Chains A and B, each alone.
Chain A
Amino acid sequence: MTGLPDSVSEQPVSLEADHLSCIRDDRVLFEGLSFAISSGEAIVLEGRNGTGKTSLLRILCGLRRPDEGEVRWHGVPIEKNYVDYYTHTAFVGHMDGIKRELSALENLRISRSLSGAGDMSIEQALETVRLHGYEDIPTYYLSAGQRRRVALARLLATDARLWILDEPFTSLDREGIALVENLMDRHVGSGGAMIMTSHHEVHLSTPNVRILNLSPGEAA
């Protein structure tokens, strides 16, 4: 990662989850869950399948309402502060969120106009995820791993300070995983923050990584 501008945005990260509960089909996935994350921190969610990792991330994104509790961005509930919150947050979920009929460039352009442009240009972002030369091809013709990279390039091309990632390593090859880990380190190191789930072991070199286990009673 040389020669790239550090995306230094003034906006610090301050997200609080306050006594969140999630009930699904009459089963309590988690309740009374509180934590906070601020600039320079990363949280890795752990827990068996079906313990609510994805639900928690969707609650943090505001895609799902918590059954109890609230999520606050700089002390204000996210639904009241959504312009500021969503400008500085990016979510990559199970679905890539890219249109297959559009090229990587066109996809990222619309992402930027929906969530705000970052310091890095689209071309730089695509080059960083090693998709140089694939900018103008409809993503339909890319492999699953390459499409994943386009989705992850969205994190770089928008002004996201908080990354919310649900299984970001899915369909990436070993080199891709190392690359993304490297990007995560840079992001957290430059004052960003990140919450993620992963079935793979995550190798981050930043010291501020916390593990949040959603299935208590199981050895972490």
Chain B
Amino acid sequence: MTPGRAFLDLLRRDLLLAMRRRSELANPMLFFVMVIVLFPLGVGAEPQLLEQMSAGVVWVAALLAALLTLDSIFRSDFEDGTLEQILIGAHPVPMLVLAKVIAHWLVTGLPLLLVAPVLATFLGMNPDAIGVLMLSLLLGTPVLSLIGSIGVALTVGLRRGGVILSLLVLPLYVPVLIFGAAAVDAAASGMPVTGQMYIMAAFLVLAVTLAPLAAAAALRISLS
């Protein structure tokens, strides 16, 4: 078996598992939609106010929805012992971690990306900014999953890891949030967004290359 084959098989396995637990699949999506729908009810339906806040609201909701699902990257594998089997497999663990994170993003991040335009329109976002919103989420949400995987790998062995996980991960999420929301704001006011996009792309490259290594090392600590 080649490593590439193992990567694809593990990715396929995680997607299959997600399909068999559909109720969990809907969770982050429902959260995302609810937060955004409830917002106008809370702050009042002034179109101008909502339009001004829309970038931030969508990004914060996406970030919290991502945080909500992080634990599922490794938790169930840890509990039934399949994580042990992955660590003592014949393939590089960081590569398999990356497969799991990609599966997690496809299941939790991608749906957010797809409903985001609808919700942004609902908040009255400038139509010109919606493309940028999609692009910023496309670059940003995988970073959230990748950074999150390090946090989960560190806390998966703890019985109550939830609070520590948030504390570990949220500070690292802040730059993604700042540049993501800033890009959308800039696009809404007709300014160029290349700078923010390059920075977000750089975050993604950095996270793809380093996070799996860190998460794999953290898993070894959690399982020993």
Contact = CB atoms under 8 A, between A and B. Distances in A.
Contacts of B85: 91, 97, 111, 114-115
B11 to A, nearest CB: 11
A116 B82 contact: no
Nearest to A114: B89
B82 to A, nearest CB: 5
Given A95-B81, A101-B20, A116-B1, A89 B88 contact: yes
B84 A91 contact: yes
Interface residues of B, number: 27
A86 B90 contact: yes
Contacts of B82: 97-99
A114 B81 contact: no
A145 to B, nearest CB: 16
B80 interface: yes
B9 interface: yes
A96 interface: yes
A77 to B, nearest CB: 15
Nearest to A147: B80
A63 B5 contact: no
Given A93-B81, A96-B81, A97-B84, A114 B90 contact: yes
For the complex, would chain B's binding face be called helix, strand, loop or mixed by DSSP majority?
helix
Nearest to B8: A113
Interface in B4-18: 5-6, 9-10, 13, 16-17
Contacts of A86: 88-90
Interface residues of A, number: 33
A115 B89 contact: yes
Nearest to A151: B81
B13 A110 contact: yes
Given A99-B82, A117-B1, A63 B13 contact: no
Contacts of B76: 99
B1 A65 contact: no
A100 B5 CA distance: 23
Nearest to A58: B224
A100 B87 CA distance: 19
Nearest to A113: B9
A64 interface: yes
A99 B9 CA distance: 14
Interface in A126-142: 138
Contact of B84 (A63, A82, A112): A63
B134 interface: no
A97 B1 contact: no
Contacts of A190: none
B75 interface: no
A4 interface: no
Interface string A48-66: 0000000000100111110
A106 interface: yes
Nearest to B5: A113
B160 interface: no
Interface of B: 1, 5-6, 9-10, 13, 16-17, 20-21, 76, 79-82, 84-91, 96, 220, 223-224
Interface of A: 58, 61-65, 82-83, 86-87, 89, 91, 93-102, 106, 109-117, 138
